[in-house]
């Protein structure tokens, strides 16, 4: 049995209820799961073997990493496993508080229900937090017989969770990372996380580090001298700063600072990034590195400048200065998706608009209203901090 990610959507919970009725009648659901299908656990859970499910994109996984350390702080003997997609696996490898990693089994873009259930059952998890729920992953966790299943109460398939959390993320009342941490309240964990105390514990792979330093040397880039990275794409996750604005900004940085300039992006964004190569001092390295190597590259930089995209969260997790461009659209806003660090500087459109959505943002060219001179002024301040031993002279 296979399901395509997020492609199976029903309009009514009645379909789901009929499915469960059928499974129950054929005794296809494990006994312990049948017993708690419509009940909730009255006392706090004390996890001993926890599976955290986060099977979406780079930034989403980064913003879930602190959960592992927080769980270990309160339950030191709890074994913590992450279930992730194959392409984000390097984000969680060698994490000091993650004991095991499972990779979501997929074939030709489809999630294998049967194979994932068989794999998960091997580990006898007593609890699972479905941080990013899809119908496929939620059904897998349900049919795997995990006793405590924590997830949102606002999806049509939330009946699959017997410990529901009622928080609407789309209203951006807090940051995505804080929403994630709030899921731990089912374990009687009430952690007050903030950019000053958060810990991501991203691993820097020594082999990736060596490769990046060789690559930089080949491109006449000295890792000891200040490096600034521009990442102009977002793979459609948000509304981007126009490429002409990036070009204007890079021109200022190139002319008025001593930053070594690197452009990054995915393999599919290489052509876009090439538009920002104004001279031979600017290096387009888009599409050249694995995720582990990208982490090493960002770790060698002084500033990371980008739209709302996964690598900006890597930069924030590595405690780098980050400059981000975010629309006023609530679901994409910096309040929910901004870089979670004290070293973050965020720019939003200066145009006066209300109840912004993607269509309106595009029609009004909202992101074009961001003042590039204001952005450069912040970059210049950081450059002086970096080159003058922490003092702006």
Give pLDDT tens digits along the chain (393 positions). 555 444 343 333 444 545 555 555 555 555 555 555 444 444 689 999 999 999 999 999 999 999 999 999 999 999 999 999 999 999 999 999 999 999 999 988 899 999 999 999 999 999 999 998 999 999 999 999 999 999 999 999 999 999 999 998 888 889 999 999 999 999 999 999 999 999 999 999 999 999 999 999 999 999 999 999 999 988 766 688 999 999 999 999 999 999 999 999 999 999 999 999 999 999 999 999 999 999 999 999 999 999 999 999 999 999 999 999 998 877 788 999 999 999 999 999 887 776 666 665 555 578 889 999 999 999 999 999 999 875 444
What pLDDT was estimated at residue 35? 52
**Cβ burial, residue 255 (10 Å; 0-12/13-18/19+):** exposed
SS3 of residue 79 by DSSP:
strand
Query: Does some domain include residue 311?
Result: yes
Q: Of how many residues is the chain composed?
A: 393
Same domain, 9 and 129: yes
Total domains, the chain = 2
CA atoms of 311 and 296, how far apart (whole Å): 12
Query: Does some domain include residue 196?
Result: no
Same domain, 53 and 123: yes
Query: Does some domain include residue 194?
Result: no
Query: Does some domain include residue 182?
Result: yes
Neighbours of 39 (CB within 10 A): 8
Same domain, 230 and 369: yes
Same domain, 250 and 141: no
- CATH number of the domain where residue 354 is located: 3.40.50.2000
Same domain, 163 and 243: no
Query: Does some domain include residue 241?
Result: yes
* Bridge partners of residue 82, in order along the sequence: 52, 101
Query: Does some domain include residue 192?
Result: no
Among the candidates 187, 214, 246, a domain finishes at 187
Runs of H (alpha helix) within 219-329: 243-256, 270-274, 291-299, 310-317
Structure tokens at 112: 């294998």
CA atoms of 151 and 127, how far apart (whole Å): 11
CA atoms of 390 and 393, how far apart (whole Å): 10
Same domain, 48 and 144: yes
What pLDDT was estimated at residue 342? 96
Domain hosting 45: range is 2-187
Same domain, 271 and 162: no
Among the candidates 152, 187, 222, a domain finishes at 187
CA 350 to chain centre: 26
Query: Does some domain include residue 393?
Result: no
Rounded to two decimals, the pTM is: 0.87
Same domain, 211 and 172: no
Same domain, 182 and 314: no
Q: Give the contacts of 209 (CB within 8 A, at least 6 positions apart).
A: 296, 299
Same domain, 164 and 271: no
What pLDDT was estimated at residue 39? 45
* Cβ atoms of 63 and 105 closer than 8 Å: no
Query: Does some domain include residue 258?
Result: yes
What pLDDT was estimated at residue 42? 44
Same domain, 104 and 138: yes
Same domain, 241 and 331: yes
What pLDDT was estimated at residue 282? 96
* Cβ atoms of 10 and 17 closer than 8 Å: no
* Cβ atoms of 334 and 347 closer than 8 Å: no
């Amino acid at each position: 049995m296979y399901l395509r990610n997020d492609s199976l959507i029903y309009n009514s919970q009645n379909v789901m209820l009929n499915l469960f009725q059928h499974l129950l009648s054929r005794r296809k659901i494990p006994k312990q799961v049948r017993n708690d299908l419509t009940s909730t656990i009255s006392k706090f859970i004390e996890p001993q073997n926890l599976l955290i499910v986060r099977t979406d994109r780079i930034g989403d996984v980064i913003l879930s990493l602190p959960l592992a350390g927080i769980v270990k702080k309160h339950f030191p003997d709890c074994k913590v496993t992450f279930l992730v997609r194959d392409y984000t696996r390097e984000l969680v490898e060698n994490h000091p508080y993650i004991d095991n990693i499972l990779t979501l089994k997929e074939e030709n873009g489809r999630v294998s229900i049967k194979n994932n259930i068989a794999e998960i059952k091997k580990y006898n998890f007593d609890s699972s937090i479905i941080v990013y729920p899809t119908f496929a992953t939620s059904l897998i966790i349900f049919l795997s017989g995990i006793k405590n299943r924590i997830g949102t109460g606002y999806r049509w398939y939330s009946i699959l969770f017997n410990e529901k959390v009622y928080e609407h993320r789309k209203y951006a009342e807090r940051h995505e990372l804080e929403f994630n941490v709030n899921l731990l309240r089912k374990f009687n964990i009430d952690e007050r996380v903030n950019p000053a105390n958060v810990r991501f514990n991203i691993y820097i792979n020594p082999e990736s580090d060596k490769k990046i330093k060789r690559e930089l040397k080949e491109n006449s880039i000295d890792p000891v001298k200040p490096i600034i990275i521009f990442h102009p794409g977002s793979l459609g996750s948000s509304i981007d700063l126009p490429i002409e604005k990036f070009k204007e900004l890079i021109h200022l940085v190139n002319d008025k600072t001593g930053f070594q300039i690197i452009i990054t992006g995915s393999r599919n964004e290489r052509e876009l990034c090439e538009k920002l190569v104004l001279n031979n001092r600017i290096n387009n390295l888009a599409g050249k590195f694995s995720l582990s190597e990208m982490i090493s590259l960002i770790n060698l930089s002084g500033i990371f400048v980008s739209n709302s995209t996964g690598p900006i969260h890597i930069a924030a997790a590595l405690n780098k200065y980050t400059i981000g461009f975010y629309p006023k659209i609530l679901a994409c806003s910096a309040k929910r998706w901004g870089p979670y660090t004290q070293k973050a500087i965020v720019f939003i459109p200066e145009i006066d608009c209300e109840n912004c959505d993607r269509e309106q943002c595009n029609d009004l060219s909202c992101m074009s209203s961001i003042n590039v001179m204001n952005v450069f002024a912040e970059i210049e301040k950081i450059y002086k901090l970096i080159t003058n031993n922490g003092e702006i002279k």
